[in-house]
A and B are shown apart, each in its own frame.
Chain A
């Protein structure tokens, strides 16, 4: 009599939500680090990319075909989100440069070794998008070539080729990191 009918979510939805919470907790840090490295060391951008990736994954769970593991499938979404973010950032920066004659301020957090970090970001920016994604996935995040190939949607041979070229370019751009400098790193003041 006059009581509001409260619709409780079905048990399946509750279970799905609980399992997804566990999935978020177990993959959040690694996915954030991957997104951060792919978007060029921007904390806020990485967190946005990560949130969008989790939301996309949650809504697309019904379309997961188990051709890869759930984690690989999710990291593929992260890579795509980061890719989209970088593309739109390029458009925004180009538009700002054309319209206002200047680039927007980067939200990159300056902690740790900011100068070296900027040099690494600049060196990674010299790579093509595919080379950068392959290098970050395999060499920095520890994915196997096969997993990286699934994440990037490319054959394993192509990924290996990207890795080889990326490593060559980075070693020439950051030659001082290759040398054994006893823990110290020389800085290029032109950055």
Chain B
């Protein structure tokens, strides 16, 4: 296939000798006949095997669609389920978050500046009387 003198790079004598020595020393050992037969058999077995080409674009599209679908649907699985009346089990307004509870436990309300709630209204009457006596309310 190589045509003689077809755009061969011009080398001086020393360069030609260098390249010739390199080529002579950097050459593989010939394939042994038994190894060649085994290699050819393996080649033809692979060639005759049914082959299904994996096209990159459809495979990538499938992966992208699967990721998007998972991203859209999975968070919904963890959302609160509404009751029959349409009211959700968990309400962010009524129930303080765990972080907020932890904050109020760790820092006393004197430091945080939060006003103390008066829970006396929800106490039974006898408890309220005791509280009034002992807590000067």
> For window 38-90 of chain A, which residues contact chain B by CB distance below 8 Å?
41, 43, 46-47, 51, 54-55, 58-59, 69, 71-72
Cβ–Cβ contact B17 & A180, under 8 A: yes
Cβ–Cβ contact A163 & B9, under 8 A: yes
From B17, B23, B25, B43, contact of A51 by CB (8 A):
B43
B94 at the interface (CB under 8 A from A): no
From A33, A51, A117, A142, contact of B2 by CB (8 A):
A142
- 9-residue interface stretch from B27-35, B72-80, B108-116: B27-35
From A24, A32, A59, contact of B28 by CB (8 A):
A32
From B2, B3, B26, B51, contact of A120 by CB (8 A):
B26
* Cα–Cα, bound, A8→B15 (Å): 57
Number of A interface residues at 8 Å Cβ cutoff, please give it: 48
B contact residues around A55 at 8 Å (CB)? 43, 46-47
* Contact A120 to B25, CB < 8 A, known contacts A156-B7, A163-B9, A178-B14: yes
A105 at the interface (CB under 8 A from B): no
Cβ–Cβ contact B28 & A43, under 8 A: yes
B83 at the interface (CB under 8 A from A): no
> For window 112-127 of chain B, which residues contact chain A by CB distance below 8 Å?
none
* Cα–Cα, bound, A72→B1 (Å): 8
- Closest residue on chain A to residue B53 by CB atoms: A59
- Closest residue on chain A to residue B15 by CB atoms: A167
A133 at the interface (CB under 8 A from B): no
- Closest residue on chain B to residue A69 by CB atoms: B1
Apart from the given pairs A51-B42, A120-B26, A170-B22, 5 other A-B contacts in the complex at a CB distance below 8 Å: A24-B40, A47-B39, A120-B22, A139-B23, A185-B25
B residues with a Cβ closer than 8 A to A are 1-3, 6-9, 11, 14-15, 17-19, 21-23, 25-31, 36, 39-40, 42-43, 46-47, 51, 53
